[in-house]
Amino acid sequence: MRALFIMTEQRLNTLKEKLSNFNLQYTDVNGTPSITIPKENLLDVCRILKDDADIKFDQCRDAVGVDRFTKKNRFEIIYNLYSLPNKDRLFIRVEIDGKNPESPSIASLWKSADWYEREAYDMIGIKFTGHPDLRRIYMPEDYQYFPLRKDFPLMGIEGSIPLPNK
Amino acid sequence: MSHTIFKDLQDEKTEIKKTQILQALESEDLSATFDDALDNEMVLNMGPQHPATHGVLRLLLSLDGETVKKCIPELGYLHRGYEKLAEASTYHEFIPHTDRLDYLQPMANNVAYALAVEKLIQLEIPERGKYIRVLIAELARIQSHLLAFGAMVMDIGALTPFLWAIREREKILDLYDIICGARFTTSYTRIGGVSQDITEEALRATRKFIDEFGGYLQECRNLVERNKIFINRTEGIGYMSKEDVINYGLSGPLIRAAGVEADVRRDNPYLVYDQLDFRIPTYTDSDCLARYYVRVEEMVESTKIVKQCLDKFPQGAYNAYSTKKVLPKKERVYTKMEELIHDFMIINFGPNPPKGESYSAVEASKGELGFYFISDGSGHPFRTKIRAPSFCNLQALPVMMKDCMIADTVVIIGGVDPVMGEADK
């Protein structure tokens, strides 16, 4: 099988060149390039990724919220970017502290990130600063837990969703 | 007496905190004036139990007369927590759950999931297995688009094309019955192949269906495409500019109806799509009529792909050979010691992938269906994220519905063709 979503060496180098001002870590997700971005640089880097004519990642196709359940940097959000002209895929990730899970929202750049971030907030409990409408998307509005956290039991918490009276 | 009861109720109501969703609807320009009833803007709750919302989609519409001023989709009425369930089950155990994601095309979900796991554990399947998968994935596309076609036309008021489309769809379900033994919840793929080989009888039945399907589809199209009512109800309805379509992250028929030729089958070919000849239908109008045409023409392309598959169908093994990762055949499990041990280990502990992350996506009928796995080296995924196309496409509803008539909302939903099983996970 031809491996999916592999970026050419040349385009990856252009990408690295354009982002050389920032302190970034390059890894790869089973062949697809991935960048770890410090929280404070996220919006600046994203602006370049989106608007630069050579790389042009014009779509944000998904966001994966992760609960690593580690002491340091417990949470992580992984955005799944796609470039329609170059047919490239790129993952950008932000590590988030467990005590104060906050990350800047990129919904101002890619409108699609709006719901993905709401989902990550609902499931993992990451608060996105600057998000236009940060509400829960699946669970009831008054629900108090974050179901995809590792300390949330699989069977749920008894009494957390009130049942109708008989 | 009745007056006081009413007053009590009202007092109680004001005490209840307004839900956030209502607050979001009520901005400053939405203050109610009581002098003239016709000046008021009305909040209409559409769904979750509404026949035209394709399941349990709930829309809050703010209306000015018959014009939709604002629309807020609400999800979560079918949320079953599949991503949490995936963390608690082995990679094999999750396959039946994928049937219930987009339940209009279970086969395509099976294929997408199996491919994603195989990419994670780095397994390559034999040629025959790949052809089987392409065949069932394309049948699934026809199956899903037939319902999208029928339901959209039915929402406009034409019942006959819907019945005819369902008649054809039934034949595909019968084919699934021959191929894997189930009509709806197929669970046909396994990690490293499929559950059983495709028989000659199934191939013959598929060829017979495909040969006849083109004519039947044309019959359905003839009912609709020159119909003035249909064209008036869809042309220019639900328009969304190309920039918006890209910025909202849409994929599948919606982005192709906006003039962007994006298709995972062509851009990042998986299975044997790079050896098959097919066209990607693209329209530029970005309205409901364009979406309709994209879907219908994709069905024609899918029949071409199925025909090519049937012509080229290779002989040989259909499952990958890897004792530690692929389930052995049942008759060998019952007679051979070695296979029994492997079967026990795979079922109980799963195929242990290396530590790491992986993403793989396929082009399902609604758009890009992807699975993101984070593996910690054990038999269970540490995190599974489903990139569901319906979820992402629904986000564009408020843009499409801006300033449309209330009667057009059902057409726009039909044009987006969401499946809530997938959107709500």
pLDDT (tens digit per residue) in A27-64: 888 888 888 988 888 888 888 888 888 888 889 989 99
Check residue A4 and give its pLDDT: 56
Q: Is the pLDDT of residue B271 over 70?
A: yes
Of B262, B269, B358, the CB nearest to A29: B358
Check residue B15 and give its pLDDT: 46
Check residue B333 and give its pLDDT: 87
Instruction: Return the sign of the alpha-carbon dihedral for residues A49, A51, A53, A58.
Output: positive
User: What would the pLDDT profile of B63-88 be if each residue is shown by its tens digit?
Assistant: 888 888 888 888 888 888 899 999 88
Q: Residue B412 corresponds to which tokens in the numbers above?
A: 């726009």
Q: Is the pLDDT of residue B48 over 80?
A: yes
Check residue B417 and give its pLDDT: 87
Residues from chain B that touch A1, judged by Cβ atoms under 8 A, are 118-119, 124-125, 270-271
Across B38-53, average pLDDT: 75
Query: B164-188 b/e with 16+ CB inside 10 Å = b?
Result: bbeebbebbeebbeebbeeeeebbb
| Inter-chain CB proximity A138 and B21 less than 8 Å | no
Check residue B210 and give its pLDDT: 92
Reported pTM: 0.87
> How far is it, in rounded angstroms, from Cα A94 to Cα A84?
23
Q: Is the pLDDT of residue B142 over 90?
A: yes
Burial class of residue B416, CB neighbours in 10 A (0-12, 13-18, 19+): buried
Residues from chain B that touch A112, judged by Cβ atoms under 8 A, are 247-250, 392, 395
User: Residue B15 carries which side chain, given as an amino acid letter?
Assistant: E
Residues from chain B that touch A30, judged by Cβ atoms under 8 A, are 119-120, 356-359
Q: Does B110 touch chain A (CB under 8 A)?
A: no
| Inter-chain CB proximity A58 and B247 less than 8 Å | yes
- Count of helices and strands (H, E) across chain A: 3, 7
Check residue B131 and give its pLDDT: 92
- The bridge status of strand B67-74 relative to strand B58-64 is antiparallel
Cβ contact B62:B412 at 8 Å = no
Size of interface A-B (CB pairs under 8 A): 113
Instruction: Return the sign of the alpha-carbon dihedral for residues B122, A81, B133, A3.
Output: negative
Q: Does B422 touch chain A (CB under 8 A)?
A: no
Residue B306 distance to chain A (closest CA, Å): 20
Q: Which of residues 54-83 of B touch A (CB under 8 A)?
A: 75-76, 79, 81, 83
| Inter-chain CB proximity B24 and A135 less than 8 Å | yes
Q: Does B22 touch chain A (CB under 8 A)?
A: no
* DSSP sequence for A23-83: --EEEEETTEEEEE--GGGHHHHHHHHHH-TTT---EEEEEEEEE---SSS-EEEEEEEEE
Q: Is the pLDDT of residue A108 over 70?
A: yes
| Beta-bridge partners for A1 | none
Q: How far is CA B13 from CA A141, B6, B17, B18, B30, in A?
A: 18, 11, 8, 9, 20
Burial class of residue B356, CB neighbours in 10 A (0-12, 13-18, 19+): middle
Check residue A160 and give its pLDDT: 82
Check residue A1 and give its pLDDT: 43
Any idea which of A18-27, B237-246, B396-405 has the lowest mean pLDDT? A18-27
Check residue B321 and give its pLDDT: 83
* DSSP sequence for A16-38: HHHTTTS--EEEEETTEEEEE--
Across B353-380, average pLDDT: 89
User: Residue A153 carries which side chain, given as an amino acid letter?
Assistant: P
- Mutation choice for B interface testing from A50, A56, A59 by most B CBs within 10 A: A59
Nearest residue on chain B to A111, alpha-carbon basis? B248
| Inter-chain CB proximity A29 and B357 less than 8 Å | yes
Residues from chain B that touch A89, judged by Cβ atoms under 8 A, are 268, 359
| Inter-chain CB proximity B395 and A115 less than 8 Å | yes
Is omega for the bond preceding B253 within 30 degrees of 0, making it cis? no
Q: Does A12 touch chain B (CB under 8 A)?
A: no
Q: Residue B185 corresponds to which tokens in the numbers above?
A: 């919840």
Residues from chain A that touch B247, judged by Cβ atoms under 8 A, are 58-59, 110-112
User: What would the pLDDT profile of A112-162 be if each residue is shown by its tens digit?
Assistant: 998 999 999 999 989 999 888 888 889 888 888 899 888 888 888 888 888
Across B404-420, average pLDDT: 88
Check residue B42 and give its pLDDT: 78
| Inter-chain CB proximity B387 and A59 less than 8 Å | no
Q: Does B48 touch chain A (CB under 8 A)?
A: no
Q: Is residue B12 left, alpha or beta, with left meaning phi > 0 and alpha meaning psi from -120 to 50?
A: alpha
List of residues 6+ apart from B150 with CB closer than 8 A: B161, B162, B163, B164, B165, B166, B169
Of B75, B118, B357, the CB nearest to A137: B75
| Inter-chain CB proximity A62 and B75 less than 8 Å | no
Check residue B9 and give its pLDDT: 45
| Inter-chain CB proximity A141 and B21 less than 8 Å | yes
| Inter-chain CB proximity B385 and A87 less than 8 Å | no
Percent of chain B with pLDDT over 90: 25
Check residue B28 and give its pLDDT: 55
Q: Which of residues 71-110 of A touch B (CB under 8 A)?
A: 78, 80, 84, 87, 89, 91, 110
| Inter-chain CB proximity B268 and A123 less than 8 Å | no
Across B364-373, average pLDDT: 91
Indicate the DSSP class of residue A140: -
Of A29, A67, A139, the CB nearest to B359: A29
